[in-house]
Structure 1
């Protein structure tokens, strides 16, 4: 709806949700952290003093200083520069893996919840089988089949998160399809695809948004875990988990080589978790008084 001066305004429910979100100080802090790392990733070439591949063996394992803010690693590479470029990788993997799993999981969940019967049984059993395995073990199995690389790690993370979105959407569809307006749409002969994507899907978006925000944090951790195990990003890619793996033998000699990549992972995950909790509190009717 447009205001009298012609400017676009948010619909009233979203304006109220934004006000409620802003009242949650921890959620605002989380949003600030997320925005900070997104900006950091976007302007990495402008603020990184060195290239992430740039080596200088005479400067290996230097402590933090004015020249190298976070110190250097065992190849003499500037850790600050690698962390800045690594933000691009972690956010890219987190966002696109969750986007893929959300799209596939949502489609499967809608189909299972709306049509029911054997379709629901088949899809639900597939979800149950996938959820029977610890997520990281399933991701390791997928990467072992496809081969270790950043792209295959992204595919693995997307696959293991599909059941989470699928079951969430299925439960939402089971309740939405019993609403009177859905019954009326069926009665007038509206096609199933139109009912699904014009009525059921829009009314199921709230839990998907919340789950997606929290899933990005999980995906970043999973990508770091695969990188740490040598199954994700390969050298010299500045992925935070891979940086931890390469520096673990220098824990006593050069602890900064582990501290700063670990801090970057912790802060990014914390930001998405705090923001996701805030969105859940605002958008989930069960959380409201």
Structure 2
């Protein structure tokens, strides 16, 4: 009995190792990519900063002192002040919260909607696929920023509406990606076997096809966050996103464009924050794609 228990434990351990090994191997491969680790470090840094902003920001993002407007960076104001005498360092910190919030939740919304539409189109095919695919094609026919502007123009300029617009314009990217994955997965033998035994479509979709389509969604989602942050900044710069006095990075750039020569620091630091955040997500996304995309391993 003791020998049988020992053998059973060995078998269970081997099974567990086989189950966890793909993700463990993916993490090990990811750690070998130095640029991907740099991107991960940048992303973690900005997330950490966004969480602890109220604890480390020396001033409130609304605090004004007109007697100190357009001051150069100093020990009192590390990033200088803007045209209302507000501390740029504090506003950049609070802006990290806003940009990451817009990036994460807009991509989450577009990923959920796009994944659902992509699964339905790829699995059922025929007229369902034709209708959904044509909707995607129409949306992709417009430049993304113009489509976002159109959505915000209909809903009204605000940060929340900018988030909705960004989520809407990214739906086709996820939808087409998931659709192509479903078209290949549904031809697998285990899917045909599930149909043969009478398994319902809902169970097949959400218990078999969706789990096998998660990998490209993760990669696309990481890269899409970087794009969403840029789009939110663009809408803010055009005055169609966050409204004053919200310290959104794109809005800060728009408010400071008149002081490019007189006070270049008012544009430099928000622009640097956008660049570093987008760079971090792009590097991390490229690393995930190299690790999780089978075609990159060939």
User: Which bin holds the TM-score, normalised by the shorter protein?
Assistant: over 0.9
* Paired position in structure 2 for 1:68: 77
Deviation at 1:72, TM superposition (A): 0.3
Matches within 5 A, 1:127-166: 127-166=136-175
1:237 aligns with 2:250: no
* Paired position in structure 1 for 2:4: none
Query: Which of 174, 190, 193 matches 2:183?
Result: 174
How far, CA to CA, are the matches of 1:181 and 1:131 in structure 2? 34
TM-score scaled by structure 2?
0.94
1:40 aligns with 2:49: yes
Query: Which of 71, 89, 93 matches 2:102?
Result: 93
Matches within 5 A, 1:258-273: 258-273=267-282
1:24 aligns with 2:25: no
Cα 1:22–1:94 change in 2 (3 A) is: same
Which one has a larger percent helix, Structure 1 or Structure 2?
2
1:193 aligns with 2:202: yes
**Residues 153-196 of structure 1 deviation map (CA, whole Å, 9 limit, x = unaligned):** 00000000000000000000000000000000000000000000
Q: List runs of 5+ in structure 1 lacking aligned partners.
A: none
TM-score scaled by structure 1?
0.97
1:280 aligns with 2:286: no
* Paired position in structure 2 for 1:225: 234
Deviation at 1:201, TM superposition (A): 0.2
* Paired position in structure 1 for 2:224: 215
Deviation at 1:11, TM superposition (A): 1.2
1:125 aligns with 2:134: yes
1:11 aligns with 2:20: yes
Q: Find the residue that maps to 2:190 and give its secondary structure.
A: helix
Q: List runs of 5+ in structure 2 lacking aligned partners.
A: 1-11
Runs of 4+ in 1 over 2 A off after TM superposition: none
